[in-house]
Chains A and B, each alone.
Chain A
Amino acid sequence: MGLPPYATLGQRIWYYSFRVICGLIFFFLVAPIVVVMPLSFNAQDFFTFTPEMLRLDPEGYSLKHYRDFFTNPQWQLALKNSLIIAPLATIISVSLGTLAAIGLSQSHVPFKGTIMAILISPMIVPLIISATGMFFFYAQLGNWMESTLGLDKGFVGYVKVVLAHAVLGIPFVIITVTATLVGFDRSLTRAAANMGAGPVTTFFRVQMPLILPGVISGGLFAFITSFDEVVVVLFVGSASQKTLPWQMFIGLREQISPTILAVATILVVISIALLTTVELLRRRSERLRGMSPG
């Protein structure tokens, strides 16, 4: 869309300044992420661009921080914890969030607005406040599980963090699934019932495949929330449940090692890969169902 030949001077100025503003916004969004990447290949143990790096001298670059990440037991424990906690929290968020969204989309549910507001609240309430509340709540719950149920301390620790993260992820799932349900044709479930399918079959064969794009993007948000989350983990978890963000946070405070930058780079790459995959899958399924042109 170019400028029309009859554009006035004012329109021309606005046309170019609009582009500059958009470029600047984009730059401010992306620059902090991009700048981390070359720094993570630093041969020195500092957060600065060394003269060798600026000269593009191969001597100035190394993979030693990546090596550190993959060999250091502290980082490996954090990685393992993140890979345990995030998927479990995601599964819980997706199951509960999807069911909640379907329930709330029924016309006969009373106090829909209130219930929705309560379920969404973890997303709106400042995280530090939720975290403080969770700290007391899960401390009690943890004590009860350890003393009354006699469960292992480490296991209880994981349960606490997983549940806390699931709560944070649920609003994302509810919002995305509710959005897909808006376009869901209720006569499809009626048709299925008519053909003899019980409610469970109808859910898995008809409703679920159709709202899957919403469920997947909700799940992705829930996963990334848990994977990136540091505040709640600090409050609810103990050192044996430390996740990657926790380890990064501690690392920043105690020893400013570029290993943090290496981890950040890996996380950014994983996030981009995840988002791209999911988006491609979603487009494919929409095309199959003829919901979007092309």
Chain B
Amino acid sequence: MADTATDQAFVEFERVQKSYDGEILVVKDLNLSMPKGEFLTMLGPSGSGKTTCLMMLAGFETATHGEIKLDGRPINNIPPHKRGIGMVFQNYALFPHMTVAENLSFPLEVRKIGKSEREEKVMRALGMVQMQDFAGRRPAQLSGGQQQRIALSRALVFEPELVLMDEPLGALDKQLRETLQFEITNLAHDLGITTVYVTHDQTEALTMSDRVAVFDDGRIQQLAPPDELYEEPQNSFVAQFIGENNTLMGTVSKINGDRCEVTLDGGEIIDAKPVNVSEVGQRTRVSIRPERVEMNKERLQPDVHTLRAEVLEFIYMGDIFRTRLRVAGNDDFVIKTRNAPDQVRLTPGTQIEIGWLPQDCRALDA
């Protein structure tokens, strides 16, 4: 997909705002630009404005301010049925009175495509999701996963360049969700379709996307590829929202380039990387991933600060151990260690010393 991407933005939001009641902005000053062929996920808690953005792109909601462009032309004044955008809905939205084949044939009939070509395209689209044998069934005779496969092939059958997916896997069980995540990403990349995917499931967002836009409070908090999002969150909302995270509150006491010292509220001093703090004396929330906390002092740099911790709970999770600690007054400090043969299993009550590489600990906004 990357080779088909050009500098020309395919989907563009320019200073888009949306308000339903004329007072409260659901979407505040949204700017987003997507190259052709990208799989972009809008991730965020409910009420963060992600679905509204998708609906504006589909044409079911109109932007209060700003402009939305598709392939360089503004689409604010184009009705949904003339936008040529495919869409997959959370509740599948299959037409219950039509068979699977009739459902898929509907967008082609509307486009006045001849019967033989229609049948051929329908079968090809069903083939993409391995559902050819179900052409004569009605949606009610299919399971949830099968229905969503049909909905997916219906959104692709008329070969749209842009496909929107509104939490398409939300109603399915975990295993099916994982299989379909894989199928959807493969299909999207194979066909070179530009995809906007909305979800509140961060695992889904991380595993499927080229880039993820994290939404909160009507704004994009961070727009980055999954690994960058997880490892380098730009603010404390993103850090909290993506993955598990330990946080400690403190004040910046020394800054030196890409390293700083933070004095925690209990007086302990730790090392961190300043992300959005810039001066000494600023309040900060430091964030560190559970798997980046180190208990083995020998693996740490000699000059870093360490913290004393008391083991409160040890949970055996099979592939990993999850240990809950009390660190600097925080009872919910979690570390994760791999279940390796030499890994110690800590018993509650044990006193240990923990530390981390300064670049893994990020000093964010308070």
Contacts and interface: CB of A to CB of B under 8 A. Distances in A.
Nearest to A195: B107
Contacts of B59: 193
Contacts of A113: none
Contacts of B315: none
A288 B107 CA distance: 22
A248 to B, nearest CB: 41
A194 B80 contact: yes
A61 to B, nearest CB: 49
A72 to B, nearest CB: 47
B86 A194 contact: yes
B13 interface: no
Given A205-B106, A289-B138, A193 B97 contact: no
B110 A201 contact: yes
Interface in A169-185: 185
A78 interface: no
A194 B85 contact: yes
B87 A191 contact: yes
B96 A194 contact: no
B253 interface: no
Interface string A180-222: 0000010110111111111101100110011000000000000
A290 B139 contact: yes
Contacts, number: 76
Nearest to B89: A187
Contact of B95 (A188, A190, A201): A188
Interface string B73-85: 0000001111111
B8 interface: no
B80 A190 contact: yes
Best-buried of B58, B60, B81, B83 by chain A (most CB within 10 Å): B81
A188 B95 CA distance: 7
Contacts of A291: 96, 140
Interface in A218-275: none
A190 B151 CA distance: 13
Contacts of A198: 81
B110 A206 contact: no
B205 to A, nearest CB: 22
B158 interface: yes
Given A185-B93, A289-B97, A194 B81 contact: yes
Given A190-B80, A190-B89, A197 B110 contact: yes
B87 A288 contact: no
Given A288-B97, A289-B97, A197 B106 contact: yes
B80 A191 contact: no
A198 B109 CA distance: 12
A291 B93 CA distance: 15
Contact of A210 (B85, B86, B96, B158): B96
Given A192-B95, A194-B86, A202-B81, 17 more contacts: A187-B89, A187-B91, A188-B93, A190-B87, A191-B87, A191-B89, A193-B81, A194-B83, A195-B81, A195-B86, A196-B107, A196-B111, A197-B106, A198-B81, A201-B110, A288-B138, A290-B96
Interface in B27-83: 58-60, 79-83
B154 interface: yes
Contacts of A202: 81
A291 B141 CA distance: 11
A147 B221 CA distance: 73
5 contacts: A194-B83, A195-B81, A195-B158, A196-B158, A199-B81
Contacts of A290: 96, 138-141
A192 B106 contact: yes
Contacts of A196: 81-82, 84, 107, 110-111, 158
Q: Which of B58, B60, B158 has the most CB of A within 10 A?
A: B60
Contacts of A195: 81, 86, 106-107, 110, 154, 158
B242 to A, nearest CB: 29
A59 B59 CA distance: 77
Given A192-B106, A288-B138, A289-B97, A197 B81 contact: yes
A111 B357 CA distance: 64
B97 A210 contact: yes
Given A288-B97, A290-B96, A193 B91 contact: no
A198 B96 CA distance: 19
Contacts of A191: 87, 89, 93-95
A194 B110 contact: no
A190 B81 contact: no
Contacts of A197: 81, 106-107, 110
Contacts of A205: 106
A1 to B, nearest CB: 31
Nearest to A208: B97
Nearest to A191: B93
A146 B303 CA distance: 105
A188 B97 CA distance: 11
B93 A190 contact: yes
Contacts of A187: 89, 91, 93
A188 B58 CA distance: 14
B168 to A, nearest CB: 12
A233 B157 CA distance: 56
A193 B86 CA distance: 10
Nearest to B82: A196
Interface in B124-149: 138-141
Given A187-B89, A194-B86, A206 B95 contact: yes
Q: What 9 A-B pairs are tightest by C-beta distance, nearest first?
A: A290-B140, A195-B107, A191-B93, A187-B93, A193-B80, A289-B96, A194-B87, A193-B81, A196-B110
